[in-house]
Chains A and B, each alone.
Chain A
């Protein structure tokens, strides 16, 4: 455990030291990953499905604010859908517009979830996002996670029904429009996932705020169980055909990720809890103090045994 703590401290020191360079690099990686994933899933516009363009835009994103990546990713999705069919582009554009105008004005920091959630869905660990948001965010994060789920399912639905949409070219525009909207609204799996994630976030948030020992661990395990239960019960009720093994394995991996997150953000020593009571003129205080576990990184000292000889002034001697 001590060695892990030392590693953690080393990582923290490294991040503190090179934060200026690490931030753009991380933004570059995030932008590159999301744009490449979008291109691989819905790369209908061949002009955008080009590595050099993706690289240039990702490089541009690395020097811009974080929210710029989300705008670029949203624009990529809309352009790709425009190449597929105008109706898909219009529906997606309206969805993004409503999301950005109505909700993300209030919490611009939460926009990152909309980007991370589709990536986590591809990696089969989407359950890590509601657990992490419950631990680090507020119940309002449920809205951003809901938006992220909606965007993911919309992209997946359109990508899956691309052939049907292309075959319907002779049909009227309104028929294709209806197909896209119906696919979005009547997607029970999407609604169930939104509900499960929202409940998970609220449960995790409520438990981790409690003044109990190991609150974060209890919160994440309870949240994960609640999430699995809702998804399974929902599968029974609405016949959503979700993969049960996928849910279990995904939840276990998500729990591992969130546990690592806890190790970095909220690592406390519950064996040294102190409870104190004191008062001032206006209040009486019941305080429970839990110390954080920290270790100092071993510092290497280089001791020079032979002091380097100073070169005698050759030029002087030559004179």
Chain B
């Protein structure tokens, strides 16, 4: 009973919040947040890269093929988003199934407890 109360107080709250969503909705929402996070991080790092190589880029800006450069940056961005997306998908899918299992266990115990009270 103490364990159940502790679960309800701590992990249970998070698990209930997760289980309120359908699996696809939860993972989709988390993936969207992940893509936004990775986009911000990528462009922040890209900004640092550009500023670091600012002089070289400024010297070569007229010589280089900007379209090609943009294309390679976009490919790199998509690769990063894809790799991070796969990791995020695995993590959040595991988290959803774990939350579901823990809540199922909790509800089973609740049923047992209420059965004991009714006796």
Q: Does A102 sit within 8 A of B, measured CB to CB? A: yes
Name the interface residues of B72-96: CB closer than 8 Å to any CB of A.
84, 88, 91
For residue A271, CB closer than 8 A to chain B, the reply is: no
- Taken together as a complex, chains A and B put the C-alpha atoms of A223 and B38 apart, in Å, by 34
By the criterion CB–CB under 8 Å, are A98 and B41 in contact?
A: yes
Which chain B residue shows the least CB distance to A107? B91
Interface of B: prevailing SS: helix
Most buried by A among B33, B40, B51: B51
B40 near A97: Cβ-Cβ < 8 Å: yes
Complex Cα spacing A91 to B49, Å: 11
Whose C-beta in chain A lies nearest to the C-beta of B49? Answer: A181
Size band of the interface chain B makes with A: 10 to 19
A174 touches B51 (CB 8 A): yes
Q: Which residue of B lies closest to A181 (CB)?
A: B52
Knowing A105-B34, A106-B91, the reply to whether A98 touches B45 (Cβ < 8 A) is yes
B37 touches A105 (CB 8 A): yes
Would you call A178 an interface residue if the criterion is a C-beta within 8 Å of the partner chain's C-beta atoms? yes
Residue in B closest to A105 when the chains form the complex, CB atoms: B37
Chain A residue with Cβ nearest B87: A106
Does A253 interact with chain B (Cβ within 8 Å)? no
Of A94, A105, A174, A178, which one neighbours B45 at CB under 8 angstroms?
Answer: A94
Size range of the chain A interface in the assembly: 10 to 19
**B21 an interface residue at 8 Å Cβ cutoff?**
no
Asked whether B54 is an interface residue with its Cβ less than 8 Å from the other chain, the reply is: yes
Cα A29 to Cα B55 in complex, Å, equals 46
Instruction: Across the interface, name the chain A residue whose C-beta is closest to B34.
Output: A105
A19 to chain B, nearest CB (A): 12
Given A94-B48, A174-B54, A177-B51: A101 and B91 interface contact (C-beta under 8 Å): no
Interface string of A74-93 (1 = CB under 8 A from B): 00000000000000001100
Kindly state whether residue B44 has any CB partner on chain A within 8 Å.
yes
Which residues on B sit within 8 Å (CB–CB) of A97? 40-41, 44
Q: Mark A213-246, 1 if CB is under 8 A from B, else 0.
A: 0000000000000000000000000000000000
- Given the interface pairs A105-B34, A105-B37, A106-B91, the reply to whether A98 lies near B52 with Cβ below 8 Å is no
* B40 with A174: CB separation less than 8 A: no
B52 close to A178 (CB less than 8 A): yes
Cα separation A178 to B51 with both chains bound (whole Å):
9
Nearest CB of A to B43, in Å: 10
Q: Indicate whether A101 sits within 8 Å of B40 (C-beta atoms), given known contacts A94-B45, A106-B91.
A: yes
Query: Which of chain B's residues has its CB closest to A91's CB?
Result: B48
Contact residues of A between 105 and 151, Cβ < 8 Å to B: 105-106
A101 touches B54 (CB 8 A): no
Selected A-B contacts with CB under 8 Å, 5 pairs: A94-B44, A101-B38, A101-B40, A105-B37, A174-B54
Given contacts A94-B48, A101-B38, 18 further A-B pairs with CB under 8 A are A90-B48, A91-B48, A94-B44, A94-B45, A94-B47, A98-B41, A98-B44, A101-B37, A102-B37, A102-B41, A102-B84, A105-B34, A106-B91, A174-B52, A174-B54, A178-B52, A181-B48, A181-B52
- A-B interface, 9 closest residue pairs, ranked by CB to CB distance from nearest: A101-B37, A98-B41, A94-B44, A174-B54, A101-B41, A102-B41, A181-B52, A94-B48, A106-B91
